[in-house]
Copies of this chain bind each other. A is one copy, B any other.
Amino acid sequence: MTSPEIDALTQALARLPGLGPRSARRAVLHLMKKRETAMAPLLRALERVNEALAVCSICGNVDTTNPCGICADPRRDARLLCVVEEVSDLWALDRSHLFPGRFHVLGGRLSALEGVRPEDLAIDSLIARVAAGGIDEVVLAMNATLEGQTTAHYLAERLESYPIRLTQLAHGLPVGGELDYLDEGTLAQALRARRPVA
């Protein structure tokens, strides 16, 4: 009995991760009741992010600038490169403030099951960054899943001829665990104990 406009808003919110139809309805009602303090700021923020949204042409991060804030930050250590599967992993590591270097987002993981091959991931651009020089260490921060580890092994082979230190996160990660869901303590430990790829 709600209007088509309200239904469309409820559906758009219900499709966000972590929300469902019920919480979306509550959110819509909240927005409508608090037009100035909830609706207006959300609308403004969405408009601004939508306008400025960019995928970083260096690392694959999503941000409101290109290059992204991390790639453009001169205080980050450009000799240290951390390779992750997804942007969410980059954000999780960045939030922890534990990694002072830069990132490279693969955009997924190798998967025979899902038919994801090396050419479907940002691997060539990773090799190009390493080949360009100036990088001392590449940290492979794949998820501790079978596919994540397969991807790490593949990258290790592709990178072994370059004069870099190749490391991976210590396996303090829970088996099957996704980086993005870990607490900072676990992440910190895994980073601290990172070890050379065998």
Contact = CB atoms under 8 A, between A and B. Distances in A.
A33 B19 contact: no
A50 interface: yes
B49 A32 contact: yes
B62 A25 contact: no
A133 interface: no
A25 to B, nearest CB: 7
A174 to B, nearest CB: 18
B31 A49 contact: yes
A8 to B, nearest CB: 4
A113 interface: no
A117 interface: no
A35 interface: yes
Interface string A169-181: 0000000000000
Contacts of A32: 49, 53, 62, 87
A30 B42 contact: no
Interface string A31-42: 111010011111
Contacts of A1: 69-70, 73, 94-95
Interface of A: 1-3, 5-6, 8-9, 11-13, 15-19, 23, 25-33, 35, 38-50, 52-53, 62-65, 69-70, 73, 87-88, 91, 94-95
8 A-B pairs with the lowest CB-CB distances in the bound complex, closest first: A18-B23, A9-B45, A12-B42, A8-B45, A3-B64, A32-B62, A16-B27, A5-B48
